[in-house]
């Protein structure tokens, strides 16, 4: 799975929040907070491979989000006004999340049908991951991947990685070191 695919992956249900739309009465909006988007970037590309900066244009906060993908820095920008709830801080968070959406983070929320009001009504492609993680299996896989990488047995590391389901890969990804994540990225690129 490529970095861009992992950025686009659905979030776990506990990470997704809902609220009623102010503009479209009766519509439920699904969203994540900015910290969740930052964590997704950290988990997928590493904290050293993304950066953000902000400027104000005509009273709106604009976020320039840069992500290094395949060794190349790509910048996408979006903006937001201050929010009614958290003022300028809300504007910064909204601008950041909007810029992250341009990399695919949480973009699928924009395509939830207007008639959906709960997680149970979501079509299959939109459902957050509810699968339980077998932590013992994930730990065993982590140990196997780490051992294979230490031995530079990339075929064995790739096999152990690919045996994990997508939601389990996310759990293992969180405990890999930056060097190990770089090696796994190379394994994915060779797929």
- pLDDT, tens digit, 9 for 90 and up, residues 69-102: 989 999 999 988 765 455 456 678 899 999 999 9
**Where would I find the beta strands (DSSP E) of 104-182?**
none
Nearest to 108 by CA among 3, 2, 7, 1: 7
SS3 state of residue 62: strand
The domain over range 3-126 is classified in CATH as 3.30.70.1520: no
Q: Decide if pLDDT at 4 tops 90.
A: no
CA atoms within 13 A of residue 10's CA, in its CB half-sphere: 20
Work out the pLDDT band at 54, boundaries 50, 70, 90.
very high
Work out the pLDDT band at 138, boundaries 50, 70, 90.
confident
Nearest to 142 by CA among 116, 163, 119: 163
Cα angle: 101, vertex 105, 107; to 5 degrees: 60
The answer to whether the beta carbons of residues 184 and 172 sit under 8 Å apart is no
**What pLDDT, on the 0 to 100 scale, is given for residue 87?**
44
Kindly report the average pLDDT of the chain as a whole number. 81
What's the CA gap between 188 and 166, in Å, rounded?
13
**What pLDDT, on the 0 to 100 scale, is given for residue 190?**
65
Work out the pLDDT band at 191, boundaries 50, 70, 90.
low
Q: Decide if pLDDT at 132 tops 70.
A: no
**What pLDDT, on the 0 to 100 scale, is given for residue 48?**
95
Domains of the chain, by residue range, sit at 3-126, 135-189
What's the CA gap between 89 and 99, in Å, rounded?
16
């Amino acid at each position: 799975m490529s970095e861009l695919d992992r950025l686009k992956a659905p979030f776990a249900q506990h990470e997704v929040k809902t609220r009623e739309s102010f503009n479209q009465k009766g519509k439920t909006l699904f969203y994540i907070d900015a910290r969740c988007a930052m964590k997704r970037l950290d988990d997928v590309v590493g904290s050293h491979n993304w950066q953000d900066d902000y400027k104000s244009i005509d009273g709106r906060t604009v976020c320039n989000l840069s992500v290094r993908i395949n060794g190349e820095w790509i910048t996408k920008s979006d903006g937001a006004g201050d929010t009614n709830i958290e003022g300028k801080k809300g504007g910064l968070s909204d601008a950041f999340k909007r810029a992250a959406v341009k990399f695919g983070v949480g973009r699928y929320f924009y395509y939830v049908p207007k008639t959906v009001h709960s997680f149970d009504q979501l079509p299959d492609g939109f459902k957050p991951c509810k699968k339980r993680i077998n932590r013992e299996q994930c730990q065993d896989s982590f140990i196997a991947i780490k051992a294979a990488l230490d031995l530079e047995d990339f075929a064995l590391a790739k096999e152990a990685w690919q045996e994990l389901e997508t939601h389990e890969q996310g759990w293992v990804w969180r405990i890999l070191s930056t060097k190990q994540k770089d090696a796994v990225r190379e394994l994915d690129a060779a797929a």
